[in-house]
Chain A
Amino acid sequence: MEKLISRGAEADIYLGKWGFLDAVYKVRVKKPYMVEDLDAFLRKSRTIREAKMLRAARSFIPTPYVFYVGLKTYTIVMQFIEGQAMKDIIKNKPELSYVAGQYLAKLHNNGIAHGDPNTSNMLFDIKSNTWLMIDFGLSYYTERIEDYAVDFHLFKEILNVQHVEVYDQALNAFSEGYFSTSKITKDKFLNKVEEIEKRGRYARRRNFEF
């Protein structure tokens, strides 16, 4: 492990070598505020889950190669991707979210929910000229349409808060990409998304006419 390149919500990302290859070390660090039991449980289960799902998803969409999984250090060593995250370029190219929609639908078609789809988890690899999807720590196998709809909603939510200036175009492209690939009918699925967005919260739209 060499250089800390980013500090995320649950892991620190280091740049290093694996043999002669450039590699990323994703280390799930201890959270001092968390009860020891819970902390260890989450770090372990997510490390296992992410490594497993990165491999599983690879049959359907491009993901980085996993080189090594260290369960005692809660570390995944994987292929380093040289390129850019979607979140940094979507502002000028909102149509890019089409591919995020496609990838998500491919996962769903094969019984996998990503759990945390957003524009930071889509990386463009300059070498292979392809998009990769990363961050599978919250992903899981499921056959429930509801779980897929939550994924869809999460991506929407990110567009609304992170990319509000291109929200409409980006959402359209994402939706087009999704339904170009999805096996679920559009109306049925969007109803489910709406149902989730209304659940247990204040969801009616209204503005006071000032």
Chain B
Amino acid sequence: MIGLGIESTAHTFGASVVNSEGNILSNLKDVYKPPQGSGIHPREASRHHSDVAPKILRGALKQAKVTYQDLDFIAYSAGPGLGPCLRVGATLARFISAYYNKPLIPVHHGIGHIELGALLTGAKDPLVLLLSGGHTMILSAQRKKWRVFGETLDITLGQLIDQFGRSIGLASPSGPQVEALALKGKKFVHLPYVVKGNDLSFSGILSAAKKALKSVSVEDVAYSLQEVAFSMLAETAERALALTKKSEIMIVGGVAANKRLKEVFENVAERHKSRLLIVPPEYAGDNGAQIAWPGLLYHKLGYSVEPENATIDQSWRIDEVEVPWRN
């Protein structure tokens, strides 16, 4: 069994072919780069996606040595994300599905990060930290759903880092550059540490960090911002671990590539005697395989939608999604 996954949630247009043995036969992508200091413009990003789509799709099939006829299903990211971007992927998927008469499967972008992470790290029943641009959530699977233990009450960790980066003139996504700056920081400045039960709030850190720039070096602010935000996340994860006694922690999503985050969570895992699993950096950011793989899991169980029902949802909530392979 083989299938194609199309990702087009935000910056990235990606396509990937996977098979039922869990092999990723191809995984190509092209990332839209907004001008320095500005965020992603949905219309511009969607134009980028339309422009690169033929090349990426062709490349993904060629690398996997398959044709459209060989595929068993087409999966696409149906949300959450930016409407114009999501529509590019969904339209292509509907077309391919209708033209070649292949089952069509909508996949939740966040579920994609989690399930691809589980495939690549071998996680069985982990406590999950989903840290992508659109999500900052702690989850565990129960009764066929990924249930939210805690999450941000305002902006996500990814947005905090990216918006801070933009405010100092870096191009988005600016995570790696902010991380590099933080490495040079030495002096810690206090920024609002806001933990409410299992939930977090990052918006106060962003405004305080911008203000601190007037009196403190960029490096020190970047360093302090990371330290405070990661500590907050570690504390809520510790809460969830203490309650659930899970033996695995898995970190997925773009922020998972941050090395300081890894260090912090190695320590958390050790304290609670669980195993830390982090999605490999090349799969941390958005990519087609995160759509293709859950697509395959759905397809195995006979799930699909008719093209006329294959819509998108910009604010599709993760704990509403049925994941029939998780008990």
Hey, which bits of chain A sit against chain B, CB under 8 A? Answer: 6-10, 31-35, 37-38, 41-42, 87, 115-118, 120, 138, 150-151, 153-154, 157-158, 160-162, 164-165, 196, 199-210
Contact = CB atoms under 8 A, between A and B. Distances in A.
B193 A200 contact: no
Interface in B15-39: none
Contacts of A164: 142-143, 147
B154 A199 contact: yes
Contacts of B231: 31, 33-35, 38
B263 interface: yes
B313 interface: yes
Contact of B235 (A10, A32, A161, A208): A10
B190 interface: yes
B242 A161 contact: no
B325 interface: no
A154 B199 contact: yes
Contacts of A210: 298, 303-305, 322
A162 B243 contact: yes
Given A116-B197, A138-B195, A196 B153 contact: yes
A6 B245 CA distance: 12
A200 B163 CA distance: 15
B85 interface: no
A38 B320 contact: no
A164 B263 CA distance: 33
B196 A9 contact: no
Given A37-B188, A206-B317, 4 more contacts: A9-B242, A33-B231, A33-B268, A202-B317
Contacts of B164: none
B315 A9 contact: no
B188 A207 contact: no
B267 A33 contact: yes
A157 B150 contact: yes
B173 interface: no
Contact of A115 (B190, B197, B316): B197
B39 to A, nearest CB: 16
B46 interface: no
Given A206-B316, A209-B309, A161 B134 contact: no
A7 B196 contact: no
B272 to A, nearest CB: 7
Majority secondary structure of chain B interface residues (helix, strand, loop or mixed): mixed
B264 interface: yes
A118 to B, nearest CB: 7
Contacts of B155: 200
A201 B196 CA distance: 16
A157 B190 contact: no
A153 B150 CA distance: 11
Nearest to A155: B197
A202 B190 contact: no
Contacts of B320: 205-207
* Centre residue among A154, A203, A206 by max chain B CB count within 10 A: A206
B198 A157 contact: yes
Given A31-B234, A38-B190, A42-B193, A200 B153 contact: yes
19 contacts: A8-B239, A10-B235, A33-B267, A34-B227, A37-B190, A38-B227, A138-B197, A150-B197, A161-B140, A164-B147, A199-B154, A200-B153, A200-B156, A202-B316, A204-B315, A206-B317, A206-B320, A207-B320, A209-B305
Contacts of B283: none
B135 to A, nearest CB: 8
A210 B243 CA distance: 34
A40 to B, nearest CB: 11
B148 A161 contact: yes
B142 A161 contact: yes
- Residue in A9, A115, A117, A153 with the greatest tally of chain B CB atoms within 10 Å: A9
B214 interface: no
A8 B263 CA distance: 20
Most chain A CB within 10 A, of B78, B231, B319, is at B231
Contacts of A205: 317, 320
Contacts of B134: 202
B196 A154 contact: yes
Nearest to A165: B143
